[in-house]
Amino acid sequence: MLEEIFLPATYTTAVPYDEFRRLRTESPVCRIPEPPVGPWPEGPGYWAVFRHKDVKHVLRSPDLFSSHLGATQIRDPDTPADLEFVQAMMLNQDPPGHSRLRRIVAAAFTPRATRALEETITQRARTLISQAADEGTVDFVEVAADLPVWTLAHIMGVPDQDRRLLFDWASRVIGYQDDDYANLSTAENLSPLGRNAAANRPTLVRPDGRPVNPRSKEALQDMFTYAHALAEEKAKAPGEDIMSRMLQGGLTPPEFENMFFLFAVAGNETLRNGIPGGLLTLLEHPRELAKLRANEALLPTAVEEILRYWPPVMDFRRTATRDIELGGQHIQRGEKVVVYHASANRDETVFPNPDTFDVSRTPNDHVSFGFGPHFCLGAHLARTQMRAIFRELLPHEITLTSPPTRLTSNFQNGLKHLPIHVQ
C-alpha cells in the first residue's frame, strides 16, 4: 500500500527500494496518504516524486516549488505560529531572502576555511578510531556521532563541554518519531551557559497528552536560550569561529538563533547517519571494502558512492506555488510535493546497476546533498569528515557483533546502534 511510503515504521526495517523502483516505472509522481501515527494526526496527503530528473526539476525551481510556503518537512506545522517560526530559517526560504542569508553563511564557510579544519578533523578522527580499537567492542553509532558534534562545536564556538547538547537537540528534532530519540538527554558537566539552557528544557507532552511540535520554538526553548546567550557573548567578544563571522557579516540576533538551529541539526544529522550507514554498507560488501583497502586513492569516489547508496536524508518537501503538471499528474497550487532522494539515487536511467555498491563508480550524480539553490553548504565539510574517518578505519579489522538497529523515521536514513569489534 502507498501509505507505507509515508509510515515511519516502514523504515525501521529497511528503505523500500523495491517499491521505489516499481513507482519510478509505473507511477513516478503519485499521491501518498498521511494516516495518523501514534499521537500525530492524519495529514492531507502529498505528491511523491521518485525519478531523478523530476527530483532535480523540483529542487532547482523554487518559483514553482517553494521551500517557504509550507516549509520542508512532510508533516505540516501545527499552528500558523509554528509555520512562521520555521519559515524564518534559511532552509525554509526561497530567493531572494534565501540568497541573502546564504551569502552571509558562505562568506564564513569558504573552502579555504574548511581546508584549515582538515588537519584538525583528521586528528579527531584518528583519536576516535584509536580509542575504539583500544576498547575493542563499541557501538559505532556513538563513535561516529562524536566527530560531527565535535567539529560543529569547534566551528560554532560552542564550549567543548557543551557539545553533547548539540547531539541531544538534533536527536529531539530528527528522531521525534522514535521513542528512544524523542526525549534523549545525554549532556553532562555543562558550562554555565549550558546549565542555564538545560534549566529551560521544555516538556514535550502537553497536559492533554498531545505532543509538542518538535520543530517549534516551544519544543526547543533550551536551544534558543543557549543560542541567544552565545550570540550575546560573541557580540561582545568575537572569535575566529564561523558564528562570530556570521554575526559580523550582518546576521541579526533572531537570524543568528535560526542559523544556530540549522547548524546544530542539519550539520549534525547528515554525518551522524551517513558515517554508520557507510560502514555498514562496506561490511555488507566485503569485496568493495577489500578493493578500497587495496587502493586508498578510491576513497573520494567511495564516499560519493556511500552517499548515493545510503542517503542520510531520504526526502524533502516543497509546496506548489501554482497549478502545474509534473510526471503526468496535475498538481494544484498549495499542495505538498515531496522529492525522494533515496529513490532518485537508484534511478536506473542515471545509474547503471543502481542497486550495486561500487566504490569506483564514476560519474555519480547523486542528490544526497540536494540540488539547486538549496544545495548543502556544508557538503565540502561533510565529505572531509567522511574521508577522514573512513581513512582511519581502513587499516582495522572490523566485524559486526550483533545486528544493527535502524531509526524509526520517514525522513532520516539512520541507525541507532551498530555494534562492532575493532582490532
For the segment 97-121, the average pLDDT, to the nearest whole number, is 80
Q: Is the separation of the CB atoms in 135 and 237 below 8 Å?
A: no
For the segment 379-408, the average pLDDT, to the nearest whole number, is 95
pLDDT for res 108:
63
Q: Is the separation of the CB atoms in 25 and 347 below 8 Å?
A: no
* pLDDT at 16 exceeding the cut of 90: yes
pLDDT for res 125:
97
Burial class (CB in 10 A: 0-12, 13-18, 19+), 304: buried
For the segment 387-405, the average pLDDT, to the nearest whole number, is 97
Position with higher pLDDT, 200 vs 392: 392
Q: Is the separation of the CB atoms in 375 and 90 below 8 Å?
A: no
Most confident of 81-90, 177-186, 386-395: 386-395
Query: What 3-state DSSP class applies to 241?
Result: coil
For the segment 417-423, the average pLDDT, to the nearest whole number, is 97
How many CB atoms within 10 Å of residue 209? 7
Position with higher pLDDT, 21 vs 245: 21
* pLDDT at 110 exceeding the cut of 80: no
Burial class (CB in 10 A: 0-12, 13-18, 19+), 353: exposed
For residue 338, give the C-alpha cell: 515531496
* pLDDT at 95 exceeding the cut of 80: yes
pLDDT for res 251:
79
pTM, rounded to two decimals: 0.95
DSSP 8-state class, residue 348: T
pLDDT for res 197:
92
Rg (CA), the chain: 21
The edge-to-edge listing of strands for the beta sheet with 336-340 is 29-34, 43-49, 336-340, 315-320, 65-66
Give percent above pLDDT 90 in the chain: 72
Position with higher pLDDT, 89 vs 58: 58
Q: Predicted confidence band at 406 (pLDDT cuts at 50, 70, 90)?
A: very high
For the segment 102-110, the average pLDDT, to the nearest whole number, is 75
Q: Predicted confidence band at 114 (pLDDT cuts at 50, 70, 90)?
A: low
Computed over every residue of the chain, the mean pLDDT equals 93
Q: How far apart are the C-alpha atoms of 232 and 226, rounded to whole Å?
A: 10
Q: Is the separation of the CB atoms in 162 and 188 below 8 Å?
A: no
For residue 130, give the C-alpha cell: 584509536
pLDDT for res 378:
85
* pLDDT at 116 exceeding the cut of 80: no
- Give the total number of structural domains in the chain: 1
For the segment 197-224, the average pLDDT, to the nearest whole number, is 87
Domain that holds residue 162: 3-422
pLDDT for res 29:
98
Tell me: the pLDDT tens digits for 305-360?
999 999 999 999 999 999 999 999 999 999 999 999 999 999 999 999 999 999 99
- Residue 346's CATH number: 1.10.630.10
Helix (H), strand (E), coil (C) string for 15-44: CCHHHHHHHHHHCCEEEEEECCECCECCEE
For the segment 212-225, the average pLDDT, to the nearest whole number, is 90
